[in-house]
Amino acid sequence: MASKTTTRNRRTESVVRDARQLIRITATLTALSLGLAACGGEDKKDEDASDDPKSIASSEGDPATWPLTGLPVEGGDSAEQDHPVLVLKLDNTEASSPQQGLSHADLVVEELVEGGITRLAAFYYSDIPGDVGPVRSMRSSDIGIVSPVDGAMVTSGGAAQTVERVVDAGIKIYNEGSPGFYRESSRSAPYNLFTDMKKVANASEDDETARPVDYLPWGAEGDLPDGKAANTLTADFGSHATNWTFQNGSYVNQNSHAADGDEFPADSVLVLRVDVGDAGYTDPAGNPVPETIFEGDGKALLFHGGKVVEGTWSKDELGSAVELKTKDGELTVPAGRVWIELVPIDDKGGSVTFGK
């Protein structure tokens, strides 16, 4: 309780007596209030906290949930890490098969690259694995993907224009030549670059523990509004489509390139329809390099529990967190592992279909 210290008033003794009496009355009422709270409110407070993962706090008062999943921190760990969120660019073509380390990612974003194919941005924070790859190059689209959590890029590099823009955005880059990177002799270039993420995490430590902001607006499954039945979905980027089915409580990527047992366990799939611009240069094959415009707003489809909820997404600027809404208000994502599909809007060659 906060009580004001009465300033001694020398003008009259009666004012002093009145002030002291007021202090005694206030202290008595406060003591009674605290006593009632201790007797009747503590159990209710603890009971409510146990129902909400976000209300669970460690003895040090650290945030109780992981920023990239919304899941509770367990086992006495802290969500404040001595390394940034590490975002690794992962090849997503047949040539990359089998991908390694995808099952350890907290969150994955699939984005368009040249030629209508896709690349993955795999986020690592709560669980840092060993070997991950194949590691590929970054794009300017990654600025809007990585900036909201002040992440660092783990990549094979990028075009000069891209590197300059990423650095100007204040994003740290770890690439070949940094600790942990190596070439896998059993694979062919450029699909043979791998990294030991533990070594990258150690190299990125700065002795300043911190917890990033939540990447998505996390909530509980019970918060979701009623949706349409949707046990299958296809996110089409032009020359590549990612197919999902809802099986045994989670979403299974039907054309994943991950090693057996190393697939990403998606509790939800979040599709955001995005505009696509021109990055201003071409790849070595002469293909124009697209740039996903990950700011502004657009249509959103949240797939969870075999249903889809339709709404909208918004992002004020590249470094802002994603906000989700339906016509009735805020839309939250059930805490868990999420795969985000940044699918171009229809007139930019993308499409999304789903079925029962």
Residues 22-44: tens digit of each pLDDT: 334 333 333 333 343 344 444 43
All residues at 6 or more sequence positions from 309 whose CB lies less than 8 Å from its CB, including other chains: 224, 225, 226, 227, 301, 302, 326, 331
Fold of 218-355: YerB-like fold (3.50.90)
Residues 6+ apart with CB under 8 A from 165: 140, 143
Contact 334, 207 (CB under 8 A): no
Per-residue pLDDT tens digits for 144-153: 999 999 999 9
Strand ordering across the sheet containing 250-253: 250-253, 241-247, 232-236, 351-355
Report the predicted TM-score, pTM, of the whole model to 2 decimal places: 0.82
Torsions phi, psi for 329 (to 5 deg)? 140, -155
144 vs 159: CA distance, rounded Å: 17
Per CATH, 86-203 and 218-355 having the same topology is answered yes
Exposed e or buried b per residue across 248-258, where buried means at least 16 C-beta atoms within 10 angstroms of its C-beta: eebbebeebbb
User: Are 121 and 146 contacting, i.e. CB atoms less than 8 angstroms apart?
Assistant: yes
For residues 131 and 141, give the distance between their C-alpha atoms in angstroms, rounded to a whole number.
25
Residue 232, both tokens = 């299958």
Distances (CA, A) of 125 to 31, 88, 146: 45, 11, 13
**Architecture, CATH, for domain 86-203:** 3-Layer(bba) Sandwich (3.50)
Chain-centre distance of CA 153, in angstroms? 14
Q: What is the pLDDT of residues 78-114, one digit of tens each?
A: 899 999 999 999 999 999 999 999 999 999 999 999 9
- What string of pLDDT tens digits covers the 356 residues of the chain? 333 333 333 333 333 333 334 334 333 333 333 343 344 444 433 444 334 443 333 334 445 999 999 999 987 778 999 999 999 999 999 999 999 999 999 999 999 999 999 999 999 999 999 999 999 999 999 999 999 999 999 999 999 999 999 999 999 999 999 999 999 999 999 999 999 999 999 999 988 788 999 999 999 999 999 999 999 999 999 999 999 999 999 999 999 999 999 999 999 999 999 999 999 999 888 889 999 999 999 999 999 999 999 999 999 999 999 999 999 999 999 999 999 999 999 999 999 999 98
The full set of domain ranges for the chain reads 12-51, 86-203, 218-355
Residue-wise pLDDT tens digits, 8-20: 333 333 333 333 3
